[in-house]
Structure 1
Amino acid sequence: MPGLVNAPNHVPEKQRYYQQAFKNHTRLWKIGPRSGIIMTTFNIAMWGTFGASMYAMTRKVLGYNTWFSED
Protein backbone atom coordinates (compact mmCIF):
# COMPACT_ATOMS: atom_id res chain seq x y z
CA MET A 1 0.00 0.00 0.00
CA PRO A 2 2.81 2.54 0.44
CA GLY A 3 3.03 2.95 -3.34
CA LEU A 4 -0.54 4.19 -3.50
CA VAL A 5 -0.06 6.78 -0.79
CA ASN A 6 2.77 8.56 -2.59
CA ALA A 7 1.41 8.04 -6.11
CA PRO A 8 1.52 11.14 -8.30
CA ASN A 9 -1.76 12.75 -9.30
CA HIS A 10 -2.13 12.56 -13.09
CA VAL A 11 -5.66 13.99 -13.19
CA PRO A 12 -4.61 17.62 -13.95
CA GLU A 13 -2.48 16.45 -16.90
CA LYS A 14 -5.30 14.41 -18.37
CA GLN A 15 -7.77 17.19 -17.69
CA ARG A 16 -5.62 19.68 -19.62
CA TYR A 17 -5.25 17.15 -22.46
CA TYR A 18 -9.02 16.62 -22.77
CA GLN A 19 -9.83 20.34 -22.39
CA GLN A 20 -7.36 21.20 -25.15
CA ALA A 21 -8.87 18.57 -27.43
CA PHE A 22 -12.35 19.94 -26.65
CA LYS A 23 -11.22 23.46 -27.56
CA ASN A 24 -9.94 22.09 -30.88
CA HIS A 25 -13.43 20.61 -31.51
CA THR A 26 -12.09 17.07 -31.45
CA ARG A 27 -14.83 14.52 -30.92
CA LEU A 28 -14.69 12.68 -27.61
CA TRP A 29 -14.32 9.25 -29.23
CA LYS A 30 -11.27 10.47 -31.19
CA ILE A 31 -9.37 11.95 -28.22
CA GLY A 32 -8.04 8.93 -26.33
CA PRO A 33 -5.11 6.75 -27.39
CA ARG A 34 -7.36 3.65 -27.62
CA SER A 35 -10.05 5.35 -29.69
CA GLY A 36 -9.01 3.61 -32.92
CA ILE A 37 -9.40 0.18 -31.36
CA ILE A 38 -12.74 1.07 -29.80
CA MET A 39 -14.18 2.55 -32.99
CA THR A 40 -12.93 -0.35 -35.12
CA THR A 41 -14.57 -2.85 -32.78
CA PHE A 42 -17.77 -0.82 -32.74
CA ASN A 43 -17.88 -0.57 -36.54
CA ILE A 44 -17.29 -4.31 -36.99
CA ALA A 45 -20.10 -5.09 -34.54
CA MET A 46 -22.46 -2.53 -36.09
CA TRP A 47 -21.93 -3.48 -39.74
CA GLY A 48 -21.76 -7.18 -38.92
CA THR A 49 -25.12 -7.01 -37.18
CA PHE A 50 -26.56 -5.00 -40.05
CA GLY A 51 -25.27 -7.49 -42.63
CA ALA A 52 -26.57 -10.47 -40.67
CA SER A 53 -29.98 -8.82 -40.33
CA MET A 54 -30.16 -8.05 -44.05
CA TYR A 55 -29.15 -11.63 -44.91
CA ALA A 56 -31.80 -13.07 -42.58
CA MET A 57 -34.49 -10.71 -43.86
CA THR A 58 -33.66 -11.54 -47.47
CA ARG A 59 -33.91 -15.28 -46.74
CA LYS A 60 -37.22 -14.72 -44.96
CA VAL A 61 -38.62 -12.80 -47.94
CA LEU A 62 -37.51 -15.64 -50.22
CA GLY A 63 -39.37 -18.11 -48.02
CA TYR A 64 -36.55 -19.71 -46.05
CA ASN A 65 -37.02 -19.73 -42.29
CA THR A 66 -33.50 -20.78 -41.27
CA TRP A 67 -30.07 -19.25 -41.79
CA PHE A 68 -28.43 -21.93 -43.93
CA SER A 69 -30.68 -24.84 -44.82
CA GLU A 70 -33.33 -25.00 -47.51
CA ASP A 71 -36.18 -25.80 -45.10
Structure 2
Amino acid sequence: MGIFNAPNKVPQHQRAYQAAYRQHIRIWNISPRSRVMLVPYTILLTGTLGAGLYGMGRKVLGYGSFI
Protein backbone atom coordinates (compact mmCIF):
# COMPACT_ATOMS: atom_id res chain seq x y z
CA MET A 1 0.00 0.00 0.00
CA GLY A 2 1.57 3.25 -1.17
CA ILE A 3 -0.51 5.52 1.03
CA PHE A 4 0.74 3.94 4.24
CA ASN A 5 4.40 3.79 3.27
CA ALA A 6 4.57 7.28 1.80
CA PRO A 7 7.51 9.43 2.88
CA ASN A 8 6.86 12.27 5.29
CA LYS A 9 7.11 15.48 3.26
CA VAL A 10 6.12 17.82 6.09
CA PRO A 11 9.72 18.82 6.96
CA GLN A 12 10.41 19.69 3.29
CA HIS A 13 7.28 21.82 3.04
CA GLN A 14 8.02 23.42 6.40
CA ARG A 15 11.53 24.41 5.28
CA ALA A 16 10.17 25.88 2.05
CA TYR A 17 7.49 27.91 3.81
CA GLN A 18 9.90 29.14 6.49
CA ALA A 19 12.43 30.20 3.84
CA ALA A 20 9.71 32.10 1.95
CA TYR A 21 8.54 33.70 5.18
CA ARG A 22 12.08 34.91 5.91
CA GLN A 23 12.11 36.54 2.45
CA HIS A 24 8.83 38.33 3.33
CA ILE A 25 6.79 36.48 0.69
CA ARG A 26 3.09 36.45 1.45
CA ILE A 27 1.53 33.08 2.21
CA TRP A 28 -0.69 33.06 -0.91
CA ASN A 29 2.32 33.60 -3.19
CA ILE A 30 4.43 30.74 -1.84
CA SER A 31 2.92 27.85 -3.76
CA PRO A 32 0.69 27.66 -6.84
CA ARG A 33 -1.71 25.51 -4.83
CA SER A 34 -2.45 28.54 -2.67
CA ARG A 35 -3.58 30.55 -5.70
CA VAL A 36 -6.18 27.87 -6.47
CA MET A 37 -7.97 28.85 -3.28
CA LEU A 38 -7.47 32.59 -3.82
CA VAL A 39 -9.28 32.75 -7.19
CA PRO A 40 -12.70 31.46 -6.00
CA TYR A 41 -12.43 33.66 -2.91
CA THR A 42 -11.81 36.75 -5.05
CA ILE A 43 -14.68 35.89 -7.40
CA LEU A 44 -17.04 35.35 -4.48
CA LEU A 45 -15.89 38.54 -2.75
CA THR A 46 -16.36 40.74 -5.80
CA GLY A 47 -19.67 39.06 -6.68
CA THR A 48 -21.21 39.58 -3.26
CA LEU A 49 -19.87 43.14 -3.10
CA GLY A 50 -21.39 43.90 -6.50
CA ALA A 51 -24.73 42.31 -5.59
CA GLY A 52 -24.82 44.23 -2.32
CA LEU A 53 -24.06 47.54 -4.00
CA TYR A 54 -26.70 46.82 -6.65
CA GLY A 55 -29.30 46.09 -3.97
CA MET A 56 -28.37 49.21 -2.00
CA GLY A 57 -28.58 51.31 -5.14
CA ARG A 58 -32.05 50.02 -5.87
CA LYS A 59 -33.10 50.71 -2.29
CA VAL A 60 -31.83 54.29 -2.53
CA LEU A 61 -33.78 54.76 -5.76
CA GLY A 62 -36.97 53.62 -4.00
CA TYR A 63 -37.38 50.06 -5.21
CA GLY A 64 -38.27 47.60 -2.47
CA SER A 65 -37.17 44.37 -4.08
CA PHE A 66 -33.79 43.13 -5.26
CA ILE A 67 -34.97 42.48 -8.82
TM-score range, shorter chain: 0.7 to 0.9
Deviation at 1:32, TM superposition (A): 2.4
Q: State the match for 1:34 in structure 2.
A: 33
Whether 1:16 aligns to 2:20 is no
**Structure 1: which 5+ residue stretches go unaligned?**
none
Aligned residues between the structures: 66
User: 1:1-71 counterparts in 2 under 5 A?
Assistant: 2-3=1-2, 4=4, 6-68=5-67
Structure 2: which 5+ runs fail to align?
A: none
**What TM-score does the superposition give when structure 1 sets the normalisation length?**
0.80
Runs of 4+ aligned residues of structure 1 deviating over 6 Å after TM superposition are none
* Structure with greater Cα Rg: 1
Q: CA deviation at 1:33?
A: 2.1
Return the TM-score normalized by structure 2. Answer: 0.84
